[in-house]
Structure 1
Amino acid sequence: MAAAEDIALVKKQEQELVLAEFDEKVAFKLGSAIRDRALAEGLALVVDIRTWDRQMFFAATAGTSADNAEWVRRKINSVRRFQRASYRLVLERGEAPFSPQSGADPADYVIAGGGFPIRVKGAGIVGCLTISGLPGRSDHGVAVAALCDHLGLDRAVYALPAE
C-alpha cells in the first residue's frame, strides 16, 4: 500500500475508532486486553493509557526496559501536540527527528508509531493509548486492534497491511 493510502487509512482509524465514554474502567479493560494479548503471543511491550493529566493504566511485559517507557513518554507528547496518531507522523514526515525550528525537542518528542489518540464522542481527543516495544507499525497495529475489539469492529477493516 502506498504511503498516501496508509495515511488515508490511519485518518479513518482516527475518525472512526471513537469511544462513547472514557474512564478508569474503560482504560483498565483496554489495557488488560492488550496485556493479555502480549502475554498470549509472547510480545515484549509496554502499554500506557491516559488522559492528558493522568495515567490510568500501565503494564510492561517481559523483555521490555526503561527505554520503552521513555519512548512512550515521547510518543504521548507527539500525539498531544499534533493531535494525531504518532504513526501518521511517521507516514507524513518520515522517522527523522523534528527539526530545531519546529520547537519539538527530540528529548521530549519522537516520530515513531505506537501512540494513538483517545477520542470520545462529543468531547474530541482526551488522551492517548500508547504502545512501545515492537516496530512502530506493529505498535500502532496493537493499539488499533485493541480499540476495534473494544468497539466491536472488524479489525481487518482498520488494519494496515503488512509491509
Structure 2
Amino acid sequence: MTDAPLPECPLTETDLPEFTPDEVRAQLAELTFDSVGSFDQEAAYSLGTLAAEIVRERGFALAVQVVLGEHIVYKAALGGVSADTTSWLRRKSNVALRDAQPSLLTRLEADASGTPHQIDDEFAVSGGSFPIVVDGSVVGTITASGLKDVIDHDLVVTAIRSYLAN
C-alpha cells in the first residue's frame, strides 16, 4: 500500500458520484488481473484490508467483503454499520457473479430498461459489488455495503484501482 492520501468520497446526497453504464463497463475492462494465480487468498486479504483502510480513513459506516469462488476470504464491518449488511453483501455479490459485471451496471441497465430491481433472498440489484476478473474469468467479488450504492461502488473501484497500482 502507498502512503499517498486516498481520494475523498462524497457523503451528501447532492455530492453523490454518478456513473453511466459506459463508465462502469470501462471500469470493468480496466480493473482486471493478468494471470491465473495472480489473485489468490493472500491477494484477497490484501485487497480487503486496503478497502477497509479506505473505509476507516473516510470515516464511513460500511462493510466490505472479498469472496473467491464460494469462500469468504475477507470481511470487515466498520463504523457501526448495521448487521443487515451481511445479507446485502451476499446478495450483491450474487448479482456480480451471476452477471459477470458490477452490480451497479446491472442496476443501471435495469433503470434504463424500466425493469424493477431484483431484491429477494438471493439477489440484490444494487451497486457495490465488483467481479474479480483474472484472465477473462470471474473468480470472485469485492463488495461494499452500508451507504448509497454509488458510494459502495466507488469504494470498491477505488480499492481495486489502488491495489493494481501497487
Runs of 5+ unmatched residues, structure 1: 99-104, 154-163
Is the counterpart of residue 127 in structure 1 residue 127 in structure 2?
Answer: no
Over aligned residue pairs, what C-alpha RMSD do you find? 1.7
Matched residue, 1:78: 95
Cα distance in 1 between the residues matched to 2:54 and 2:93: 22
Cα distance in 2 between the residues matched to 1:83 and 1:66: 27
| Aligned residue type for 2:140 | G
Q: Where do 1:8-157 residues align within 5 Å? A: 8-20=22-34, 21-94=38-111, 96-98=116-118, 106-120=120-134, 122-152=135-165
- Contact 1:79 / 1:117 at 8 angstroms: preserved in 2? yes
Cα deviations by residue, 1:31-86 (Å, 9 ceiling, x for unpaired) = 11111111122111111101122111111102212211110111011111111100
Kindly state the Cα deviation for residue 123 of structure 1 after the two structures are TM-superposed: 5.0
Where 1:66 maps in the other structure, the secondary structure is: coil
Cα deviations by residue, 1:77-107 (Å, 9 ceiling, x for unpaired) = 1111111100001111038333xxxxxx712
- Contact 2:54 / 2:159 at 8 angstroms: preserved in 1? no
Cα deviations by residue, 1:102-121 (Å, 9 ceiling, x for unpaired) = xxx7121111000100001x
| Aligned residue type for 1:124 | S
TM-score (norm 2): 0.80
| Aligned residue type for 2:33 | L
| Aligned residue type for 1:139 | D
Where 1:58 maps in the other structure, the secondary structure is: strand
Cα distance in 1 between the residues matched to 2:125 and 2:138: 19
- Give the number of the structure whose residues are more often helix, by fraction: 1
Total equivalences in the alignment: 142
- Identical-residue share of aligned pairs (%): 32
- Contact 1:47 / 1:60 at 8 angstroms: preserved in 2? yes
Runs of 5+ unmatched residues, structure 2: 1-18
Cα distance in 2 between the residues matched to 1:96 and 1:114: 18
- Contact 1:96 / 1:111 at 8 angstroms: preserved in 2? no
